[in-house]
Amino acid sequence: MTTPRTPRKFLAWNGVSLQVPRSWDSAEFRAFALQVAGRDGQGLDLRWRRTREDFDLRAHLARLAQALGPGASVDQDPGVLPPGWASPREGDAARGSLWPFTWRGADGGGLGAVLHRPDTGLTATARFILPGPAREDDAATALAVLDSLDDHPPDGPVPWAAFGIAAVVPGGLELRSFSFTPGHFRLALAAPHTGCDLVLDRLGPADALLDHRTLAQYADIFYGALGAPAGFFAEAPAPPGPDGEPRTDPDTVHGAGFLGAPLLARLLRRPWPRARRGRMWRTGIGAVLLGAFMRAPRDADLEPFEAICRDYALDRP
């Protein structure tokens, strides 16, 4: 089967990444699931989890059929699969085991595959939605998406690419929440064993948000709820001018400091994220604000902050 050469975009979410056709522009995300679809009805429902339990393919497919509703079917018969569609593989050390299937349920039908990697505990179920009988080019598109599926376990850097942003964070930071409202996307992560937490924000339009305030004043207010006191943010240094005088960059502000624990936290001896670091900057021809704010009990736990900010950017397909 020939893999179609169609424009692609990169998605990365909570430990997995893949490339999908750029025309698949309608996406929905959950903690361990994503759905993406194009206007022609073709799309993907991807769900995954990590577990160290023994994997039972038959039980997994039975649960999938049950979740699809009454009368649904999941079929592994090679005779019903399109030619060249995702040949089964068992025990591949690098990519895990993969089992293809066809499915039919209340919301239509299509192709699918289960991927399992015992070394990382990943089990992913990719269910491709096809608007009609599986044509060769539809099957080829689905196969190209499936081949691009990659695993990013928490023992290494984890990429994120969605909602117009791209980031790379340490694997020990787990997803806690995310929100998307007009003009604001926030990704919140935390490391439960160290008490460290991180938020990444994308905001716009910048001029409307700032109004008559400086970027430093706005950042103080915006991150005040996370413990940034007034005056926490200041303009970042910029290269010296022609006269050699030091300058600052009004489009990039940062802050670092410590906040003492409240009395109740001290009495109960609860861990308190006393160390704080933050940054906010204009990007996208100045129309968008990106922000990062990180807290931890120890200053040493904030060491990845500079690399996180360096890799945090608008996602340009």
- Looking at residue 80, its pLDDT comes to 87
219 pLDDT exceeds 60? yes
Q: Which long-range contacts (CB under 8 A, 24 or more apart) does 77-83 make?
A: 81/111, 82/1, 82/111, 82/134, 82/136, 82/139, 83/1, 83/136
Distance of CA 301 to the CA centre of its chain: 22
- Looking at residue 138, its pLDDT comes to 83
pLDDT in tens, 243-275: 767 788 899 999 998 776 555 555 555 565 678
Residue 78 in tokens? 């090679």
- Looking at residue 183, its pLDDT comes to 93
Coil vs helix vs strand at 224: helix
The pairing of beta strand 108-117 with beta strand 96-105: antiparallel
pLDDT in tens, 171-189: 999 999 999 999 999 999 9
Please list the residues that pair with 67 across neighbouring strands.
Answer: none
133 pLDDT exceeds 70? no
Across the chain, what does the average pLDDT equal? 89
Tell me the residue type at 108.
G
Distance in angstroms (rounded) separating the CA atoms of residues 162 and 12 = 7
Cβ count within 10 A of residue 209: 16
Tell me the residue type at 163.
F
Place of tokens 């998406």: 145
pLDDT in tens, 51-103: 888 889 999 999 999 999 888 899 999 888 888 888 888 877 677 899 999 99
Residue 67 in tokens? 């979740």
262/284: higher pLDDT? 284
Tell me the residue type at 11.
L
What are the structural domains, with CATH classification, of the chain? Answer: 8-151 (3.40.1000.10), 158-314 (2.60.120.1690)
Residues in the chain: 317
Helices (H), the chain: 57-67, 136-148, 206-210, 215-222, 263-267, 305-311
- Taking the CA of residue 252 as centre, how many other CA atoms within 13 Å lie in the half-sphere pointing to its CB? 10
| pTM of the model as a whole | 0.90
pLDDT in tens, 151-168: 999 999 999 999 999 999
- Looking at residue 96, its pLDDT comes to 87
